[in-house]
Amino acid sequence: MIAAAYRVILCDLRTDQVLDVLPITDVSLDDYIGKIGSASATIPLPNRAVAARARAAVEPGRVAMWVERGPEIWWGGVLWTASLTSNTRGFLGLQVQAGGWASYLDHRAVLHTQEATQVDQYDIVRGLIDYSASLPGGDIGIEYDAEQLSHVKRDRTFRRYDVPRIREVIDQLAAVENGFEWRIASYRDPSSGRRIKQLQLGAPVIRTGSSEIVLDHPGPIMSYGWPVDATVQANVWQSRGASDNKNQTKESLPLMSELLVDDEQLVAGWPRLDGTSDYSTVTEQATLDAHARADLAASLRPQTIPEITVALDRTPLSPALLGATVRVRIRDDWWAEGLDRRYRVVGLAISPPLRGRPETAKLQLEAA
């Protein structure tokens, strides 16, 4: 089976007007729910004409980078860095690196106080996206479904004095008790062919796909890793909020959440494991307590994030799989009785084919 070719479409970040379309090598790309994905590639420069095209099109911080695999868009984001390289034989290449669309919101701050009173948390997110786009030069074309609701209402004030980054604000809102997941997906509209940057929201998690994919080992699963990490485990938690600076004659002390203790774990014989978190812009006790409860709930058990590597020539997968459910079946010396469980895909990293190695996808999984 011949692997589909990859190429990069370079566009103006604000208008999405195409600047150039170039072949790439050494491409790698990943995407996740819960953190920003990335892509890197090398644009070969075999002659002066191609070098001139690349010089004209590649302007880090100003250019959108879409990665196509065959006819489909598999990734999109902001091109942030470029590095010209020359090897010992004089062959030139331009190495480019990009971050997913949410990385742009790391470069945008709340410079005008934003307030919400009993507003659906999805509407708060959309309001922050609209605020970002409303300022001169700030609209990069992020789209969303205005009708989707989480049915969880929040009170929030984002103060300009704190100048918080917009992605940080959304992440904090998502991480509170009864929160949600969010990402900005890339795809091509099947009817118009237009490239889309789509805000995806899901409470409590993002779920996609209607049919279940079965992955077997031995079979399409080439290899797997099953790490168990207790370094971030905790059964006691306290969160710290903003400092009270109203009375200058007294020591400035931060707002503290209630001290949360999971007595059930301690009675069961677990050692006491303390966890803390900081929310320097949170000024409301109820909000801080909700953050603490969510943090403790997420930390009570050791983190297990299985990774499986699948050959793409044996199983048709794509980045659209994020949020979908897969059924993993493994039988080997460790899983002698046979593992047969369902997992949600929360991360995906693509490695194109190299000599002697097939095109693969590494999936990060979470218990469904």
Q: Give domain limits for the chain.
A: 6-102, 108-202, 213-227+305-367, 236-299
- Helix axis angle, 121-134 relative to 166-175, nearest 10°? 180
Please state, in angstroms and rounded to a whole number, the distance separating the CA atoms of residues 106 and 169: 10
End-to-end CA distance of the chain: 32
CATH code of the domain made up of 213-227+305-367: 2.40.450
DSSP state of 3: P
Quote the pTM value.
0.90
Architecture of domain 6-102: Roll (2.30)
* Cα Rg of the chain (Å, integer): 23
Confidence (pLDDT) at 316: 80
Instruction: For residue range 221-245, list pLDDT tens digits in order.
Output: 999 999 999 999 999 999 999 987 6
Question: How do the pLDDT tens digits run along the chain, 368 residues long?
Answer: 345 689 999 999 999 999 999 999 999 999 999 999 999 999 999 999 999 999 999 999 999 999 999 889 999 999 999 999 998 888 999 999 999 999 999 999 999 999 999 999 999 999 999 999 999 999 999 999 999 999 999 999 999 999 999 999 999 999 999 999 999 999 999 999 999 999 999 999 999 987 789 999 999 999 999 999 999 999 999 999 998 766 666 677 899 999 999 999 999 999 999 999 999 889 999 999 999 999 999 999 998 999 999 998 888 888 989 999 999 999 999 999 999 999 999 999 998 887 777 889 999 999 88
Beta-carbon contacts of residue 221 (< 8 Å; ≥ 6 apart):
215, 308, 309, 310, 328, 330
Fold of the 108-202 domain = Phage tail protein beta-alpha-beta fold (3.55.50)
